[in-house]
Structure 1
Amino acid sequence: MSDTQQTLPRLGFIGMGNMGGPMAANLVAAGYTVTGYDPVPAAAERAAAAGVRMAGTGAEAVAQADVVITMLPTGRHVLNALSGDGDTPGLLAAADGDTLFLECSTISVDDATTAHALMLETGHRGLDAPVSGGVVGAEAGTLTFMVGGAAEDFAAALPVLEVMGGRVVHCGGPGAGQAAKICNNMILGVSMIAVSEAFVLGEELGLSHQALFDVASAASGQCWALTTNCPVPGPVPASPANRDYRPGFAAALMAKDLGLAADALDSTGVSAELGRRAGEIYRNLTESGGGGEDFSAIINTIRANSTQPGPAGSAGVAGTASQRTAGQQPAEQSGTA
């Protein structure tokens, strides 16, 4: 073992999926010893190929760890993993005392604060540290981490988080990271729908995609949904629209995050008509079979639900939505808005 590996904390990593796998691989590449666990054989095999030492159970993966990272689908999965389920020992019981837990899943604020309380009750430390940046950011090590918890724990976790992320922000106390995440993704969901609606309107008015992009990307309409994840092919070559909407960030995950935002809106009494409506739109898309596509594929639903204006030819040189989308995914698969 090298001197560098001896001085770095030992890491346990639970959840080797589309996000967790690349994150763990970046930690291995930076010299960390990472012991991981994932119940899905394909995910475990990919992680092992990247140098992660795979364990047979989650408890085994965290038994010798100084820092434990979890990246799981829902709050229920997180709480079950921490506390155990039936005869399966939980991560908190299996870890040595005073282990630092970094909970990187996107879950509700209530579940995040519950998880933090469980960590403290069992003699551990913890941070909620959800991420933004999608699979591309996970692979490139450029994720944004939104972190909630004690300042001293944030300072201890920072070197590990900086390997996986390009920006790490301490947002406040326990739950603050999850609060920042759902607020950010509510902005993102609403803005992607707005950008997509504008492109469909531009098509009907005779604007080329490139012309609208060149104007809006340098004007007051500029936003991440336009300049990085543009919902039409061409203007941003790296956007999912150029690869048949294979996801960087799946529509089903956007629906999940907007559902968490809606729960927070209900609990706080905040009026947010656009945020709630965006959640309904993405939930409908997911329930209609489009959840596996990138969330920018919502533009296809908008086109499918658009009606041709009255006078013939009023759609201009771009043609009608129905003419342009011939051969694309039918409305019953794209979902309804």
Structure 2
Amino acid sequence: MSTIAFIGLGKMGGPMAANLAKAEHDVRGFDLSDQARAAAEEAGSTTFDSAVAAAEGAEVVITMLPNGGLVKQVIGEILQSTEDSAQKPGLFIDSSTIAVTEAREIAELVQAAGSHFVDAPVSGGMSGAQAGTLAFMVGGDSADFDAAHPLLEVMGRSITHCGGIGNGQAVKACNNMILAVHQIALAEALVLGERLGLDHQAFFDVVSNATGASWALTTNAPVPDVVPTSPANNDFAPGFASALMLKDLKLAMASAEKTHTDTTLGRIAAGQYADFVDAGNGGLDFSAIINEIRAKK
């Protein structure tokens, strides 16, 4: 059993912390939201009024926060508070989605304080967080990956060491750029099929067993009934919100610019999601982009 400070108990972090508590780890949580802290308490965590208080006596700190600036701030505060303490956390695991450069800057901060760091962003959405079936993509040295692995295994079904610090964030950006392009291409094909008189079920039965198959269709189909658990059956209540997809696409485009990589389809996808979010749809699942495509004639 490990003593874990879990900072960020929202829609992703809350279920992740709950799975750690269910596995009988001592989880010390913090979130700014009273509701999130109450839910974490019900799920077996002990919550505190600050990230620093949650990290007192913790062996491991896991962060799941909205952006890199906040991750750096929270980890910096924890390190400063334990600067002269023999109980400084030995390992920091960041599962937020942030820029590659930010992950590497935070790692330098942690390592300078004598602790260890891995970036471990996730794929799988809220359903994966709840079921403990997330895919973790991890950047860090081999020893730190090995130290983090038993905890990640509680929360995920796939844990991949992607190389050095920042490489977890690198592959997350690449993966979600692919996913965004897939979801848009699928939506365009479905709308075309609708206008040609094609039944959704027939489309699904053929394409899910043919060369056009993808997670965007088989798990996240943007039309109701063909995949009963997809957000389309619940008015596009988000498994992964459009605003978060846009955030990830912006990170991918920043990396593409920095590395002089031509990502034509990625740029198109980023532009479409920017327009969709700007129109007030940021809180809908990213598969709801099909509504924007249907609206165009």
1:25 is aligned with what amino acid?
A: A
Q: How many residues were matched structurally?
A: 293
**Mapping of 1:194-233 within 5 angstroms?**
194-233=185-224
Q: Distance in 2 between matches of 1:150 and 1:198?
A: 43
Alpha-carbon shift at residue 40 of structure 1 (Å):
1.0
TM-score (norm 2): 0.97
**What are the Cα deviations for residues 100-158 of structure 1, in whole angstroms up to 9, with x where unaligned?**
00000000001011111111011110000000000000000000000000100110111
2:294 aligns with 303
Q: Distance in 2 between matches of 1:287 and 1:234?
A: 29
**Mapping of 1:46-65 within 5 angstroms?**
46-65=39-58
1:24 aligns with 17
Q: Distance in 1 between matches of 2:278 and 2:108?
A: 34
Q: Distance in 2 between matches of 1:24 and 1:55?
A: 14
Whether 1:159 and 2:150 are equivalent positions in the alignment is yes
Alpha-carbon shift at residue 183 of structure 1 (Å):
0.3
Alpha-carbon shift at residue 98 of structure 1 (Å):
5.5
**Mapping of 1:15-164 within 5 angstroms?**
15-83=8-76, 90-95=77-82, 96-97=87-88, 99-164=90-155
The structure whose Rg is larger is 1
Alpha-carbon shift at residue 94 of structure 1 (Å):
3.0
Q: Distance in 1 between matches of 2:112 and 2:88?
A: 11
The answer on whether the counterparts of 1:192 and 1:296 sit within 8 Å (CA) in structure 2 is: yes
Q: Distance in 2 between matches of 1:191 and 1:171?
A: 23
Q: Distance in 2 between matches of 1:169 and 1:93?
A: 31
Q: Secondary structure at the match of 1:248?
A: coil
Q: Distance in 1 between matches of 2:8 and 2:90?
A: 18
Q: Percent sequence identity over matched residues? A: 52
40-49 or 159-168, larger mean C-alpha shift: 40-49
1:93 is aligned with what amino acid?
A: Q
Q: Secondary structure at the match of 1:237?
A: coil
Q: Which structure 1 residue ranges, 4+ long, deviate > 6 Å from structure 2? A: none
Q: Secondary structure at the match of 2:294?
A: helix
Query: Root-mean-square deviation (CA), in Å?
Result: 0.8
227, 244, 267: which one aligns with 1:236: 227
1:325 aligns with none
Whether 1:14 and 2:7 are equivalent positions in the alignment is yes
TM-score (norm 1): 0.86
Unaligned runs of 5+ in 2: none
